[in-house]
Amino acid sequence: MFSFKKKEKLNAPLNVPKHIAVIMDGNGRWAKKRMQPRVFGHKAGMETLQRVTIAAKEMGVQVLTVYAFSTENWSRPEKEVSFIMNLPVEFYDRYVPELHKNKVKIQMIGDTAKLPKATFEALEKAESLTKLNTGLILNFALNYGGRYEINQAVKLIAQDVLDAKLSPGDITEEVIGNYLYTSNLPKMLRDPDLVIRTSGELRLSNFLPWQSAYSELYFTDILWPDFDEKALKAAIAEYSRRNRRFGGV
Ligand code: FPP
């Protein structure tokens, strides 16, 4: 039997992270287990993303940043790359209407100008359709690399110093944040409270290295296409049990 105190803790309201970042890993292995080509896993992964976004919104999450394509992913076979690049086009037609109904606001981060035209345009259409929405922000990281992001920020800061728009003494952490891709998010929501990685890999793989300095990390063996509302709740429940001190006591 539980003691009253323990019972009370189990029923305690969840401390829902405001910003969750997800490394959606394991699509290829999920497909392989079903004797299917890897792209079958990416397609299933896109469906999972839709369900998880709605579930996150219903739980009160405010920002969901998802690692959809890294700057390193270009080295995959050309067919797989072009399949992934076509997903936003399909996503716009099949899934964005429901997200829009749910007041989800779609945004993107990364070196998105280098994406194929159709990919970029599908995301831009989604951004513009949903830009006035006030619900959860679904933030796609596409052609994203964390070190590249910091490198670009340093170049922009150096240029602003040269142009006398900024003096070196004024470069604070907050100022640096304004030069990162995540400056597309409201100030208080730029850093993920929780980073989830699926498929059992225990790395951050160049995902939001600056922004995740104080994030709680959560790793699960579940392959991304199998990740569901129950798995999201388990991650949030684990987050709730942790005590974030930000270096204090
Ligand atoms: C990593 O799994 C997954 C990706 C590189 C692609 C993720 C993309 C989606 C889930 C779809 C996103 C939706 C849109 C609209 C862009 P992996 O292929 O590395 O899996 P493996 O480690 O098992 O090989």
Domains of the chain by start residue, with CATH: 19-241 (3.40.1180.10)
Q: Which two tokens stand for residue 112?
A: 């998105």
Q: Mean pLDDT of all residues in the chain?
A: 95
The mean pLDDT of 132-146, rounded to a whole number, is 98
Q: Tokens 């970042």: give the residue.
A: 21
Query: Tens digit of pLDDT for each residue in 148-170?
Result: 999 999 999 999 999 999 999 99
Q: Tokens 């907050």: give the residue.
A: 174
Q: How far is the CA of 175 from the centre of ligand 1 (A)?
A: 32
Q: How far is the CA of 83 from the centre of ligand 1 (A)?
A: 11
Task: Find out whether the beta carbon of 110 lies less than 6 Å from any atom of ligand 1.
Answer: no
**Amino acid 130: pLDDT:** 98
**Amino acid 246: pLDDT:** 72
State the binding site for substrate: 26-30, 38, 42, 70-72, 74, 76, 197, 203-205
Q: How far apart are CA 237 and CA 231, in angstroms?
A: 10
DSSP lists the bridge partners of residue 145 as none
Task: Find out whether the beta carbon of 52 lies less than 6 Å from any atom of ligand 1.
Answer: no
Q: How far is the CA of 12 from the centre of ligand 1 (A)?
A: 35
pTM: 0.94
* Rounded CA Rg of the chain: 19
Q: How far is the CA of 197 from the centre of ligand 1 (A)?
A: 12
Least confident span in 1-5, 49-53, 88-92, 216-220: 1-5
The mean pLDDT of 90-113, rounded to a whole number, is 98
Query: Tens digit of pLDDT for each residue in 55-66?
Result: 999 999 999 999
State the binding site for Mg(2+): 25, 216
Query: Tens digit of pLDDT for each residue in 12-21?
Result: 788 999 999 9
Out of 22, 23, 24, 33, mutate this one to test ligand 1's pocket (max ligand atoms within 8 Å of CB): namely 24
Q: Is 206 left (phi over 0), alpha (psi -120 to 50) or beta?
A: left
CB 211 within 8 A of CB 192: yes
Q: pLDDT category, 8, cuts 50, 70, 90?
A: very low
Task: Find out whether the beta carbon of 39 lies less than 6 Å from any atom of ligand 1.
Answer: no
The mean pLDDT of 98-127, rounded to a whole number, is 98
